[in-house]
Amino acid sequence: MVDNSQGGERRPFRGGKPGGPRGQERRGGRPDANRGSGQFRDRRGPSDRDDRPEPQGPAIPADIEARDLAPEVRRELSTLSKNTADTIARHLVAAGALLDEDPEAALAHAQAARTRSGRIPAIREAVGIAAYRCGDWSQALAEFRAARRMGSKSTLLPLIADCERGVGRPEKAIELSKSPEAAELTGAAADELRIVVAGARADLGQLDQALAVLSSPAPDADGVGEMAARLAYAYADTLLALDRRDEALQWFLRAADADVEGVTDAEDRISELA
């Protein structure tokens, strides 16, 4: 699906959840992005636009339609000419469709959208999400920061903090977790940041502190769903790093029970420990 709004957030397509790529999880989940600015309008005449060379980019499959983009994001594109907006929308839809199976191709589509208009937050977020899924932390970080400068209202802090981990700055990820913005996070966004910060602590060899982060509050032993599975997995992985093997096995079992969507490799970890 393309319109994956959760908790009121606007999401051009499904992204990659923080915490998984480097530390707490072998297989991660996913976050995303959106939001826009109406101040940048194309004031050139029709002949000016028609005479410009069409920017290059990957071919868009014929079955990809602009109307499949989240309506909130389509509205962000309303400052552009109809043809440009439709092309960008189709690139973003294609990026979303490819994100899981071929993130490099998804990134190429998102970049093609940015080539046509790089001044819309949702487009910059889309490039950031695809770059994040490709493990290009520097590009993802630059895109998320650009989106925020342009007025994005999406909850990007967990992604930005995880990118800081990716570029080798776990201390910066921890610093971000102490910001006023972090204190305002609730629900899944707050849990995302906890997983990232625990990973940053682990990166620094601070395993006891990592476990403390994940214990405040402790994962729900009876929870079900993606976030419950990922928190239990992160907790188990940290316990294992602390050589608390039996406890780790129990939490991997809980992660497997919670993981109805298959976002972790908890069952493989159980087989390794059994």
Residue 30 CA, chain-centre distance (Å), reads 5
Q: Is residue 1 part of a domain?
A: yes
Amino acid type, 189: A
Q: Is residue 32 part of a domain?
A: yes
Q: Is residue 165 part of a domain?
A: no
Q: Is the pLDDT of residue 274 over 70?
A: yes
Same domain (yes/no): 14, 115: yes
Q: How far is CA 177 from CA 45, 108, 111, 195, 213, in A?
A: 47, 31, 29, 11, 11
SS3 labels along the chain: CCCCCCCCCCCCCCCCCCCCCCCCCCCCCCCCCCCCCCCCCCCCCHHHHHHCCCCCCCCCCCCCCHHHCCHHHHHHHHHCCHHHHHHHHHHHHHHHHHCCCCHHHHHHHHHHHHHHCCCCHHHHHHHHHHHHHCCCHHHHHHHHHHHHHCCCCCCCHHHHHHHHHHCCCHHHHHHHCCCHHHHCCCHHHHHHHHHHHHHHHHHCCCHHHHHHHHCCCCCCCCCCCHHHHHHHHHHHHHHHHCCCHHHHHHHHHHHHHHCCCCCCCHHHHHHHHC
Segment 166-170 long-range contacts (CB within 8 Å, at least 24 positions apart) = 166/21, 166/22, 166/135, 166/137, 166/140, 166/141, 167/137, 167/138, 167/141, 170/199, 170/200, 170/201, 170/203, 170/204
Report the pLDDT averaged over residues 255-272: 96
Give 186-239 pLDDT, tens digit per residue: 999 999 999 999 999 999 999 999 999 999 999 999 999 999 999 999 999 999
Q: What is the pLDDT of residue 1?
A: 26
Same domain (yes/no): 151, 221: no
Percent of the chain with pLDDT over 70: 80
How many domains is the chain built from? 2
**Structural domain range at position 51:** 1-155
Q: Is residue 174 part of a domain?
A: no
Q: What is the pLDDT of residue 56?
A: 76
Same domain (yes/no): 140, 254: no
Same domain (yes/no): 141, 18: yes
Q: What is the pLDDT of residue 127?
A: 98
Report the pLDDT averaged over residues 105-109: 98
Same domain (yes/no): 50, 133: yes
CA distance linking residue 199 with residue 84, whole number of Å: 41
Q: What is the pLDDT of residue 244?
A: 98
Q: Is the pLDDT of residue 22 over 90?
A: no
Q: Is the pLDDT of residue 118 over 70?
A: yes
Q: Is residue 17 part of a domain?
A: yes
Q: What is the pLDDT of residue 52?
A: 53
Question: Could you tell me which residue, 52 or 145, shows the higher pLDDT?
Answer: 145
Same domain (yes/no): 11, 145: yes
Q: What is the pLDDT of residue 5?
A: 34
270's tokens: 């159980």
Model pTM score: 0.80
Q: Is the pLDDT of residue 243 over 60?
A: yes
Q: Is the pLDDT of residue 153 over 60?
A: yes
Q: Is residue 268 part of a domain?
A: yes
Report the pLDDT averaged over residues 124-145: 98
Same domain (yes/no): 130, 231: no
Contact 144/31 with Cβ under 8 angstroms?
Answer: no
Give 2-18 pLDDT, tens digit per residue: 333 333 343 444 333 44
Q: What is the pLDDT of residue 53?
A: 58
Same domain (yes/no): 144, 222: no
Q: What CATH number has the domain bearing residue 113?
A: 1.25.40
Of 107, 128, 155, the last residue of a domain is 155
What integer best gives the mean pLDDT of the chain? Answer: 84
Q: Is residue 199 part of a domain?
A: no
Give 27-57 pLDDT, tens digit per residue: 333 333 332 322 222 223 333 344 555 667 8
Of 107, 134, 155, the last residue of a domain is 155
CA distance linking residue 83 with residue 88, whole number of Å: 9
Same domain (yes/no): 12, 145: yes
Q: Is residue 75 part of a domain?
A: yes
Percent of the chain with pLDDT over 90: 77
Q: Is the pLDDT of residue 26 over 60?
A: no
